[in-house]
Amino acid sequence: MNAISPSNTIRTGTSAENLRQAFLDNLVCALGRLPNYASAHDHYLALALTVRDHVVARAVQSFEQGVVKMMRRVAYLSAEFLPGPHLANHLLNLGIAEATREALGGIGIDLDRVLAEEEEPGLGNGGLGRLASCYLDSLATVEVQSIGYGIRYEFGIFDQVIRDGWQVEGTDKWLSGGNPWEIHRLGIAKQVKFGGHTETWTDDQGRTRVRWVPSIVIKGEAYDTPITGYGSGTCSLMRLWKSEAVESFDFEAFNHGDYDRAVEQKVDSENLSKVLYPNDELHRGKELRLKQQFFFTSCALQDMLRLVAMSGGKVAAFDESWAVQLNDTHPAIGVAELMRLLVDEHALEWDDAWAITQKTFSYTNHTLLPEALEKWPVELFGSVLPRHLEIIYGINHRFLDEVRTAFPDDDARLARLSLIDEHGARYVRMANLACVGSHKINGVAALHSELLKKTVLADFAALWPEKFDNVTNGVTPRRFVALANPGLAGLLERELGAGWPGDLSCLGRLEPLAADPGFRREWREVRLANKRRLAALIQERTGIVVTPDSLFDVQVKRIHEYKRQHLNLLHVLSLYLSIKRDPDAGVVPRTFIFGGKAAPGYFLAKRIIRLVTATGELVNQDPDVAGRLKVVFFPDFNVKNAQHIYPAADLSEQISLAGMEASGTGNMKMSLNGALTIGTLDGANVEIRDAVGAENFFLFGLTASEVSALKAGGYQPQTYYESDSLLRETIDFIASGALGGDPDLFRPVVDNLLHGDPYLLLADFRAYLDAQQRVGELWGDSDAWTSSSILNVARMGRFSSDRSIREYCERIWNVNAKPSQT
């Protein structure tokens, strides 16, 4: 008998009556609350438990299918995930949003208030973690069996508050209100070794084998969060590992009265998964981070081996059971760990194990920034992972022999390709390990993939051109359109039918409506309503009053010099100075909205946030400005806040220096919600512009090759400063101390620009201002702007993460996805 599928039981019934009864049962029986005393948070937990029953019932059936059919499954290895709030997403995917609204409405509870209670798991820094979550959503939607493996950080990305204009970090206590979405799998625990030494021994077939004798063993326990797909019975699983001590504590030490030492090991073990590392301005070889990476990767690979055995597969055909994607180099140690598991623990021959390893792994690169490339001092690496260092030497030895054959007498090339960097101090290069151990290597946008082959991975591209591919990123339209923008979703449903979130190619059918005045009016009304809601939220969070009919000019993303939030500020201040010079200057009313976290140790990024808030302090109150300019720093940009911001953006700022932003995904989210983009030819901007049409995109700035040429010729920011009086006036104004009440506050920013300007703001300043001028002009023609906005949405269907995932399935993982309708 099938124990879980009947849809008419209280637990999994989908009528409003069923849902209400299950909700009330959970309130009383699971939470111990009588309805009259329940708080909004109790309502949230009771509803989450109700929906969880539906989700888990699907998840276990979906999982069973994978085991029975022995399909090749996808393991997405990622040190970061940013799923966002789950509840509303599940309601949409399960098709029970309306019934739930009715169920709660009938007992006087507002569903939106309940949804607002959910705190999101901030288990990532930004784009990379969010992409991983979009991909789990799409994998489930296109009906591919998958597990996203990662770390269950107790403390995720810090909470950001703004105090006196400065970023102040707070501890992210995402688990403090309880987490109804995860299931602690008590039966699924893995032992992970660290330190110690290796020994050789002879097995009963007379073969020399290696044994790793660790100095410490840590336990990883699995916490599963099911991820539903849209209109699909398949669920992805996000399986996160929490570190625990193998023993509670050291009884021997305890009995000898050494209490400190008795608990020391337990504390150390538990610390491993405590906290997410923020992207600093530099990759620092921190031991704990290396341990985190090995910890989750080893747990994941051991778990995959367990599942191979469970579904009757063979270890010697591991790659037929699993396609393993390395989300950046964070899990690249998996290449050596799979070798160790196959050779040392499952007694495979080296060459067989290596063939399996290469067929199993593929690697996605997410940045060209040299300072972000991961490398570990050989000493440190060897002390944490002595056996893996030996294995890496073994891989390297064979690999360099292969290189010598392909390129005889080319020592410089050998040195560049080697897994060990030997210029000065010796390092293990994780990108090289990932490349050697994978059968496919991809970048995340067309331009990025090309630049990868020309720059950081050029030697690998010369050696193995066939390994290289591009998969342009995508975003899930369920969360970022259907949920975030219900007004737009209503229009899309009316025009395209209810299934549109499952097939974004249908957006094309909106094109003719761009010329329809009635539709344009409805479009504007939806957008204005979104902006009113955001204006209310801005006032609630910052106290700043903004005008919903002004142009909402939005830059939300991590704060980094290469993303050039300070270029945006140079524009704002130049407008301010124009108004001060001539109070009647024709400046269209704009609300500049900034948001994003700065790494706690990134000095300049923090100054840039202060420059935003100081500009706001100056501009927002000035009577000469008369409300035409408002500058807002929206605190604590995260997935939940993003869902309120994206649908209210008129203008999407994607102004990174060309060649620096691997892809960007906020660019896609805003354009899919009807924003026009002002941007450089960087990352996926290039493809967005191709898709929406050059006439619907505000392009400016140097191209990536112009950037290289300018840098090669010896870039002199001073020449731009001297030749452009508005630029000079703007920079001088910042340098004058007029902002923020302290004359030295922004000296470091000014000095950085005048003496170096590593991201060429001064070179792009004039072109940026000209493009902003064109923005202002088009905004003045509301019909033309609206048409352009409609066409942006109509032509963005390609940027659904379903399309990206289908490409991975076909070209990289060799698994079958449900075909798209078109």
207 a catalytic residue: no
Mark 203-232 with x for binding to ligand 26V (rule: CB under 6 A) and - for no binding.
------------------------------
Binds ligand 26V by CB under 6 A, chosen from 89, 297, 367, 574: 367
Number of residues that bind ligand 26V (CB under 6 A): 23
d(CA 211, CA 203): 11
161 or 282: whose CB is closer to ligand 26V? 282
Measured from the CB atom, the residue of 138 and 473 that comes closer to ligand 26V is 473
| Per-residue binding letters, 309-338, with ligand 26V (x by CB under 6 A) | -------------------x----------
Active site residue 665: yes
**Alpha carbons 74 and 324: distance in angstroms, whole number:** 6
Residue 50 annotated in active site: no
Examine residue 127 and tell whether it contacts ligand 26V (CB under 6 A).
yes
Q: Which residue in the set 111, 131, 670, 675 belongs to the binding site for ligand 26V (CB under 6 A)?
A: 131
Instruction: List alpha helices for 497-631, DSSP H.
Output: 517-542, 565-581, 603-619
The one-letter amino acid code at 46 reads A
Length of the chain equals 822
The reply to whether 371 sits near ligand 26V by the rule CB under 6 A is: yes
Which structure tokens are listed for 71? 């399909």
What SS3 class is residue 553? strand
308-342 in b/e form (b: 16+ CB < 10 A) is: beeeebebeebbbbbbbbbbbbbbbbbbbbbbbbb
- State the minimum distance, in angstroms, from the CB of residue 283 to ligand 26V: 5
Residue 126 binds to ligand 26V (criterion: CB under 6 A): yes
Catalytic-labelled residue, pool 100, 228, 297, 665: 665
The Cα 307–Cα 319 span in angstroms is: 13
Report the alpha-carbon distance of residue 238 to residue 148 in Å, rounded: 5
**Packing angle, helices 565-581 and 603-619, rounded to 10:** 30
Q: Which is nearer to ligand 26V, 279 or 298 (CB)?
A: 279
Examine residue 344 and tell whether it contacts ligand 26V (CB under 6 A). Answer: no
Q: With left for phi above 0 and alpha for psi between -120 and 50, is residue 678 left, alpha or beta?
A: beta
Binder to ligand 26V among 636, 661, 757, 764 (CB under 6 A)?
Answer: 661
| Residue 664 found at the interface with ligand 26V (CB under 6 A) | yes
Does 604 sit near ligand 26V (CB under 6 A)?
no
Among 615, 648, 654, 649, smallest CA distance to 631 is for: 615
Query: Side chain identity at 185, as an amino acid letter?
Result: R
Contacts of 584 (CB under 8 A, 6+ apart): none
In the bound state with ligand 26V, the residue whose beta carbon lies nearer, of 369 and 537, is 369
Scanning 367-375, 380-388, 711-719, 755-763 for contacts with ligand 26V by CB under 6 A, the matching segment is: 367-375
Catalytic residue among 52, 54, 558, 607: 558
Which residue of the chain is nearest ligand 26V when measured via CB? 127
**Residue type for 549, please?**
D
Q: How far is the CB of 368 from ligand 26V (least distance, A)?
A: 9
The single residue of 359, 531, 563, 590 carrying the catalytic annotation is: 563
Q: Is 473 in the site for ligand 26V (CB under 6 A)?
A: yes
- Helix, strand, coil shares of the chain, percent, nearest 5, are 50, 15, 30
Closest CA to 428 of 297, 365, 336, 326: 336
Stretch that binds ligand 26V, among 222-230, 366-374, 584-592, 762-770 (CB under 6 A): 366-374
Question: Residue 197 pairs with which residues in a beta bridge?
Answer: 213
Indicate which single residue of 25, 244, 264, 281 sits in contact with ligand 26V (rule: CB under 6 A): 281
Side by side, the strands of the sheet bearing 427-429 are: 375-377, 427-429, 420-421
User: Cβ of residue 384: shortest distance to ligand 26V, in angstroms?
Assistant: 20
Q: Are 371 and 599 in contact (CB under 8 A)?
A: no
Q: How far is the CB of 414 from ligand 26V (least distance, A)?
A: 27
440 binds ligand 26V (CB under 6 A): no
Active site includes 563?
yes
Nearer to ligand 26V, 94 or 475 (CB): 475
Q: Which residues pair with 310 in a beta bridge?
A: none
Q: How many CB atoms lie within 10 A of CB 759?
A: 21
Q: Which of 632, 323, 321, 670 is nearest to 485 (CA)?
A: 670
- Binding region for ligand 26V (CB under 6 A) out of 198-206, 276-284, 410-418, 530-538: 276-284
In angstroms, give the least distance from the CB of 802 to ligand 26V. Answer: 16
123 pairs with which residues across the strands? 81
Catalytic residue among 440, 557, 798, 803: 557
Query: Please, what is the Cα angle at 750 between 617 and 596, to 5 degrees?
Result: 55
- Which one of 219, 283, 375, 467 is in contact with ligand 26V (CB under 6 A)? 283
Q: Provide the 3-class DSSP secondary structure of residue 22.
A: helix
Using CB under 6 A, pick the residue from 16, 45, 79, 128 that binds ligand 26V.
128
For residues 681 to 720, the per-residue mask of contacts with ligand 26V, x marking binding by CB under 6 A and - elsewhere, is --x-------------------------------------
Q: Is 274 a catalytic residue?
A: no
Distance from C-alpha of 720 to C-alpha of 699, rounded to nearest angstrom: 20
Name the minimum Å distance from CB 374 to ligand 26V. Answer: 8
Annotated active-site residue in 90, 219, 669, 795:
669
The residues that are catalytic are: 366, 557-558, 563, 665, 669
Residues that bind ligand 26V (CB under 6 A): 126-128, 131, 279-283, 328, 366-367, 369, 371-372, 444, 473, 661-665, 683
